[in-house]
Amino acid sequence: MQLIQQLINGITIGSFYALVALGYTMVYGVLKMINFAHGDLFMWGAYLGLASLTFIVGIFTNGSPWMIIPVVIIVALTVALAGVLVERVAYRPLRTAGRLAPIISALGVAFILESLARNVFGASWKTYPTGVVPTGGIQITPEVRVSTMQLSVLVVSFILMAGLYLFIQRTRTGTAMRAVSQDPGVSRLMGIDVNQIISRVFLIGPGLGGIAGLIVALYYGSFDFTLGWTFGLKAFIAAILGGIGNIPGAMIGGMLLGVIETLASGYISPQWKDVIAYVILIIILVFRPTGILGERVAEKV
Amino acid sequence: MRIAKIQASFRRYPYAWQIGLIILAILLPLPLGDYYRTVAWRTGVYIMLGLSLNIIVGYAGLFQLGHAAFYALGAYTAAIMNLKLGIPLLLTFPFSILIAAVFGYLITRPILHLRGDYLAIVTIAFGEVVRLALVNNIFGITGGANGLSGIDRPNLFGLELRQPIYHYYLMLVFLIFTIFAIRRLENSRLGRAWMYVREDEAAAEAMGIDTTRVKLMAFILGSGWAGLCGALYAAKLTVISPDLSRFLESVVMFSIVVLGGTGSIPGVVVGTLGMVTLPEMFRPLKDWRDAWMGIAMVVMMIARPEGLWPSRRVRLEIRGDQEEANPIPAANS
């Protein structure tokens, strides 16, 4: 029974990783670069969520749970625009500059975003106002319980991921994204505006990441500026676990990582759960560098 | 183009420059106060760290974003041997190098077939594993999150090295040795093999270079050298903590190499001045230092993706024919 409870918790956490991993994997798909700034964009989602929530709670004092919807929209739009801006300013000029320069530039952006968050909002732990998060839950058996928050997290992430999957598979833009990730040169010859597609990837990835930041902060209730780094690295592990560049892979990888981590924390030791996550990453990369669903070996030499 | 001029003169009069710089380095701390002597010491240690990472990233072209782990391993080896076994600190230095090099071998051996971004992410993970293991007080000897303190001062023939200036000169001895050793290494058979592997691994292999061995050598040497830097750190600070293996440290080292110009010794020096010394001078900016460092990293990469003082080969790779119209006098060719 305890196992089932752990699995439920693990899948909830896994869905956070999956949402953030999508951003990494999409960017890696089209640009073949690790967007080190993605974790910090995700963290900005948490801060912007807090700021806009405080603002909105100030206007509507009735405290309806629906006021989360405008917050989600504000956060998603702002972080998405920030993502596009980052790509335009820091990555686009470096597309032909080898493989080291974009890494440094991305790390630089991560420094800027983190330092900005720390200085604007302060280095202390931030707490979300209570009353926003739905309380209560469903007691399935005496030991197993799913809280309303967990349920809403799962529903929201499922909707977002299914929506993204359909978008990538069914729409014109989605098809173009897949084409660019396979071969940017040929895509250009086929009349695809590669720059625009990349911009759109940077709109969707960080947008989802921003929403994930908001949800994570709501779920845990408090966070600080190191959230981006710790969560970002694990989400990236999730992306590799599933096979980087592969969108369903990121979702599966995220879920898997969440479950493994929760089980490790529950049955081995919470102190070592991060170490276990990293060791799993290393083992996977040693034996199956393409991840669970990855077919092509991403070799950018 | 001013840098290009200095570079050209550097190439034309190598001995004059080398002797001049050594004399400058010896005289440098004399007019300075203790604070700036410590800054100078830090700069020297980071130059060495940058040079050690430059072997891996610059010469062999392998990504290593967890280099700080070996720095930490060196520092912890020195500290643990000194505190638990009572070995004089200076005698622990060879063990720091050895342990870091052995770990460099053990850790990179299974992941050597990985390339590019995959290697980057695995090395990040290793850095974090080392940090977390130190924080979790592995084997009960690392002192947990607080680290270890009360390490003995190094004692050189009865002279206790307490003042920053002594540590500066201790560092300088190692630094000068490092620079000369690495210059020799650069042009050795192994050094040329590294660059061959960096440029084209398949071709290198076809020409009979054992690429696995060559890459392993880069990791072993680079890691061991970082271990030495860790021991120097433990000797000066006498207090060490798992923060030595923070990702930020690895990023600073990586940025030193890339900002300065990969595969270039003067590049590492320039990169260190930019990433370590300059921020140290801007203490008043304190809270915003990281942001400025980030802005500098982005701007630098856009303006000079090949780095401030690149080796000629790397510049040609990135700039292509652009520079041909503006040739630099090639003195030693």
Write down the pLDDT at residue B319.
66
User: Closest Cα of chain B to A62: distance in Å?
Assistant: 38
User: Closest Cα of chain B to A34: distance in Å?
Assistant: 7
Q: Is B110 on the interface with A (CB under 8 A)?
A: yes
Write down the pLDDT at residue A44.
92
CA B57 from chain center: how many Å?
Answer: 10
What is the pLDDT of chain B when averaged over all its residues?
81
State how far the Cα of B62 lies from the Cα of B217, in Å rounded to an integer: 12
Find residues 28-67 of chain B whose CB sits inside 8 Å of chain A: 57, 63
Query: Which one-letter amino acid corresponds to residue B310?
Result: P
Write down the pLDDT at residue A299.
44
Number of Cβ atoms within 10 Å of the Cβ of A296: 10
Of the candidates B89, B108, B263, the one whose C-alpha atom is nearest the C-alpha of residue B192 is: B263
User: Residue A164 has which token pair?
Assistant: 């993204």
User: Closest Cα of chain B to A103: distance in Å?
Assistant: 9
If you measure CA to CA, which chain B residue comes closest to A95? Answer: B302
Burial of B114 (0-12, 13-18, 19+ CB in 10 A): buried
Of the candidates B73, B72, B53, B71, the one whose C-alpha atom is nearest the C-alpha of residue B63 is: B53
Q: Is B293 on the interface with A (CB under 8 A)?
A: yes
Q: Is residue B138 part of a domain?
A: yes
Mean pLDDT calculated for residue range A244-249: 82
The confidence band for B328, taking pLDDT boundaries of 50, 70 and 90, is very low
Q: Is residue B207 part of a domain?
A: yes
Residue from the list A89, A115, A271 with its beta carbon closest to the beta carbon of B136: A271
Chain B neighbors of A289, CB-CB under 8 A: 113-114, 118
- Collapsing DSSP to helix, strand or coil, B64 comes out as coil
If you measure CA to CA, which chain A residue comes closest to B275? Answer: A108
CB distance A149 to A218 below 8 Å: yes
Mean pLDDT calculated for residue range A17-32: 88
User: Closest Cα of chain A to B272: distance in Å?
Assistant: 15
If you measure CA to CA, which chain A residue comes closest to B255? Answer: A104
Domains contained in chain B, number: 1
pLDDT tens-digit profile of B251-284?
888 888 888 877 788 888 888 888 888 877 777 7
- Strands A145-147, A137-139: pairing kind: antiparallel
**Is residue B27 over pLDDT 90?**
no
Of the candidates A265, A221, A271, A238, the one whose C-alpha atom is nearest the C-alpha of residue A5 is: A265
If you measure CA to CA, which chain B residue comes closest to A291? Answer: B118
pLDDT tens-digit profile of A28-40?
888 888 888 999 9
Q: Choosing among A107, A118, A284, which should be mutated to test the B contact, i.e. which has the most B CBs within 10 A?
A: A107
Residue from the list B128, B294, B318 with its beta carbon closest to the beta carbon of A98: B318
Contact A236 B121 (CB under 8 A): yes
Chain A neighbors of B57, CB-CB under 8 A: 100
Which position has the token pair 């610059």? B58
Q: In CATH, what class is A2-287?
A: mainly alpha
If you measure CA to CA, which chain B residue comes closest to A98? Answer: B318
User: Residue A118 has which token pair?
Assistant: 């720390």
Contact A285 B318 (CB under 8 A): no
Chain A neighbors of B295, CB-CB under 8 A: 108, 112
Query: Which one-letter amino acid corresponds to residue B300?
Result: M
Q: Is B20 on the interface with A (CB under 8 A)?
A: no
- Strands B239-240, B148-149: pairing kind: antiparallel
Strands (E), A5-125: none
Contact A110 B129 (CB under 8 A): no
Size of interface A-B (CB pairs under 8 A): 141
Lowest-pLDDT range, A87-91, B225-229, B238-242?
A: B238-242
- Collapsing DSSP to helix, strand or coil, A139 comes out as strand
pLDDT tens-digit profile of A155-209?
888 898 889 989 988 999 999 998 888 888 898 999 999 899 999 999 999 999 9
User: Closest Cα of chain B to A286: distance in Å?
Assistant: 6
Contact B302 A105 (CB under 8 A): yes
Chain A neighbors of B298, CB-CB under 8 A: 89-90, 105, 108-109, 112
Write down the pLDDT at residue A220.
85
Mean pLDDT calculated for residue range A132-151: 76
What is the pLDDT of chain A when averaged over all its residues?
84
pLDDT tens-digit profile of B126-169?
888 888 888 887 787 777 777 777 777 777 776 777 777 788 88
Q: Which helix (H) or strand (E) holds B159?
A: strand B159-160
What range does the domain containing B116 cover? 33-246
pLDDT tens-digit profile of B70-112?
999 999 988 888 887 877 878 888 898 999 999 989 888 888 8
Q: Choosing among A111, A229, A280, A288, which should be mutated to test the B contact, i.e. which has the most B CBs within 10 A?
A: A111
Q: Choosing among B130, B142, B297, B304, which should be mutated to test the A contact, i.e. which has the most A CBs within 10 A?
A: B297
What percentage of chain B exceeds 90 in pLDDT? Answer: 11
Lowest-pLDDT range, B130-139, B175-184, B219-228?
A: B130-139
- Collapsing DSSP to helix, strand or coil, B160 comes out as strand
Query: Which one-letter amino acid corresponds to residue B124?
Result: I
Q: Is residue B99 part of a domain?
A: yes
Strands (E), A125-248: 126-127, 137-139, 145-147, 222-223
State how far the Cα of B30 lies from the Cα of B57, in Å rounded to an integer: 35
If you measure CA to CA, which chain B residue comes closest to A106? Answer: B298
User: Closest Cα of chain B to A187: distance in Å?
Assistant: 24
For residue A301, what is the DSSP state? -
Q: Is B128 on the interface with A (CB under 8 A)?
A: yes
pLDDT tens-digit profile of A76-129?
999 999 999 999 988 888 888 777 888 889 989 998 998 888 888 887 888 877
Residue from the list B121, B298, B306 with its beta carbon closest to the beta carbon of A90: B298
pLDDT tens-digit profile of B293-316?
888 888 888 887 777 777 766 666
Write down the pLDDT at residue B85.
80
Can you list the alpha helix ranges (DSSP code H) found in chain B? 2-12, 14-27, 34-54, 68-85, 89-108, 116-135, 164-186, 189-199, 201-206, 211-237, 247-260, 265-272, 278-281, 289-303, 312-319
